[in-house]
Structures are given as C-alpha cells and as structure tokens.
Amino acid sequence: MKTRKLGSSDLYVTELILGTWAIGGTMWSDYDEAGAKEAIKASIDSGINCIDTAPAYGGGHAEELIGDVIAGIRDKLIIATKCGLNIEGRYEKLLTPEFIMHDLEMSLKRLKTDYVDLYQIHWPVNDVPIAVSMEALMKAKEQGKVRYIGVCNFSGKELDDAINCGEVVSLQPNYSLLEREIEKDQMKVCEKSGVSIISYGSLAAGMLTGKYKEHPVFKKGDARNFFYRFFKKEYWPAVREVVDEVELVADKYGAKPGHVAIAWILSHPSVAGAIFGARDADQVKDNLGGAALTLSKDDIDSLNKISEHIYG
C-alpha cells in the first residue's frame, strides 16, 4: 500500500490507517472482541502500517488489544495514540503537564511499548494554555517517549497557536463527504504550514458504505446517536442523496461506495491518510480498495457539488 509523509516528520503512513474506537468495546453496540483482534491482525497483514487509538476507546481496552497483537512487530508499525481525556474520571478534558505525563505512561503500559510514534492531543481545552501543554509534549519527545506530536479536533486558530509553540506534524479532524467543515478553516492552515491531515469518520461511521437504506437507529448508549451529526433524522434525505451519488460513482469504477468515500478523501493533497474503523477482518479487507482507486476530476466535482449543502 502506498505511503505518504506525515507533515515535517520522517514517518510515512499508509494511505489507510486503522482506527480503533469501536474496537475498544464500549460506546459502539454489538461488540465482538475476537472480531476486533482479527481486524487489527488483518490490517497489519494487508500492509497497513499505522494504527490510531486513544485511552478513551474502551477505557484503555483498545490500547491493550493493540499491545497484544503487535508484540514482536511493534518496530514495523506507526502507533498513534492520544492524551487529554481522563478515563480515570468522567472522561473530562485535561491537558495539564502532570496529567499528560501520567496519561502517556498509562498508554505505554497498555500498548506494551516504550514509545509512541504520534502522540496527539485528543481535544482542545480552554483552561490550560496550549504553550503549557505543548511544553510537556516536547519534554516527552526529548525523553524519547514520543516521536512526533499531533492534534485532533482543533480549529484553524487553535492549530496555528499550537504550531507557534512547537512542531506539530498532523491534525486529525472529522472529515468525509458528509462532514466537510474543515475545508473552510483547518485545511487552509494545514496547506500553509505543511501539517498533514489524517481524517477520522472517513466512512461517516458506516453511512458511506451505502449499507443503510433507511434512516438508521442505534441502541441506547451507542455513540452514533450523538457524536456524528449526519445520523440525525432531519439530515437523512440530504445524506441519502450524497450516498446515492457515491453509489453511482462507485458503479462506474466497479468499486464499492466505501472505496469512493476513501478515494475522495485521499484526493486532497494535504491528507496523509484516511483513518477507518473496522469491526472485523472482513470489513478491513472490504475497505482496502479505497486506497487503490483514483477518481476522475469530473467525479470529484460531482461529489463535491452534491455534498456541499447537507446541513443548510
């Protein structure tokens, strides 16, 4: 699988990156642990070299599973995890230097490694200046526990502020054909500063695979009920129109809708990789075609047009 350079780092991530939120076992219903482990194994066997995780995914369980699977091959992989959500509390955002160092030590333990390749701030906070948090992260880098620093869910201004405090190599935003807000703000900062985007929600949490013919309803407590706005009933007709177009484009290439969703993300030069979640090995294998597909300019234009005004 092709790789792309991650910002100013010397890391080359595969165009597909495995995401492990659902693999953590909480917040996404119908969890299957054996399937989750197989998904991690199948990704590595398919040539994916980067895995994204966080303490918040299953309260540390996703990191533990990854730690088990990567034993013996850890040095061949790029492990990206996150800091700043306190899983020992009520998942409140916390970016004090003391907590960052503690969070990091706990992640290293669960991942059974002594360094993280990409350490990302999970969410911005208001109560600790970014300079203070960045200083802690840079200290962790000097200690060799972190190779590179990234951020998630930052606005363009927050990203700029972080860049002014130290080397930031990546931004991880919610980005897909159903969520394009970053094009107006963060993507411009990334283009200007050479920070790479690694998108999350790349398949719109399954919506862009075309599997939902009716508006989907999830079990109580499932994160899809509140986290991604495209699951709200009021947006279903506009969302379905986009999915219809994605399916039409996919048919032209003899590809799957999910492949078109991924190829569309990868058509943006500031993107280094598309993070996708998978419950099992079959979903991993099913998504690989996304990295092999190149869309024509006409198809990209038609997808851009139909997905422009989903939310009014």
List, by residue number, the catalytic residues: 57
Residue 201 within binding range of ligand NAP, rule CB under 6 A: yes
Structure tokens at 258: 């999910």
Residue 277 within binding range of ligand NAP, rule CB under 6 A: yes
Q: Which is nearer to ligand NAP, 122 or 142 (CB)?
A: 122
Report the C-alpha gap between 14 and 122 in whole angstroms: 21
Which range binds ligand NAP by CB under 6 A, 2-10, 16-24, 154-162, 303-311? 16-24
**Residues whose CB falls within 8 Å of the CB of residue 112, separated by 6 or more in sequence, listed in order:** 67, 68, 70, 71, 74
Q: Could you say which of 9, 172, 270, 307 contacts ligand NAP (CB under 6 A)?
A: 172
* Helix, strand, coil tally for the chain in percent (to 5): 45, 15, 40
Residue with tokens 């533990």: 64
Q: Which is nearer to ligand NAP, 32 or 296 (CB)?
A: 32
Which range binds ligand NAP by CB under 6 A, 42-50, 105-113, 142-150, 275-283? 275-283
Residue 293 within binding range of ligand NAP, rule CB under 6 A: no
CB-CB contact of 116 with 146 (8 Å):
yes
The candidate with the shortest Cα–Cα distance to 51, out of 43, 2, 4, is 43
Residue 7 within binding range of ligand NAP, rule CB under 6 A: no
**Angle, helix 97-111 to helix 130-142, in steps of 10 degrees:** 40
The candidate with the shortest Cα–Cα distance to 62, out of 98, 96, 18, 104, is 18
Q: How many residues bind ligand NAP (CB under 6 A)?
A: 28
Report the C-alpha gap between 96 and 164 in whole angstroms: 18
Q: Which is nearer to ligand NAP, 160 or 280 (CB)?
A: 280
Residue 21 within binding range of ligand NAP, rule CB under 6 A: yes
Q: Could you say which of 209, 249, 260, 272 contacts ligand NAP (CB under 6 A)?
A: 209
Residue 202 within binding range of ligand NAP, rule CB under 6 A: yes
Q: Least separation, in Å, of the C-beta of 301 and ligand NAP?
A: 23
The candidate with the shortest Cα–Cα distance to 197, out of 222, 160, 169, is 169
Residue 66 within binding range of ligand NAP, rule CB under 6 A: no
Residue 205 within binding range of ligand NAP, rule CB under 6 A: yes
The candidate with the shortest Cα–Cα distance to 155, out of 188, 199, 131, is 188
Q: Which positions lie near ligand NAP, rule CB under 6 A?
A: 19-22, 28, 52, 122, 152-153, 172, 200-206, 209, 211, 258, 275-279, 283, 286-287
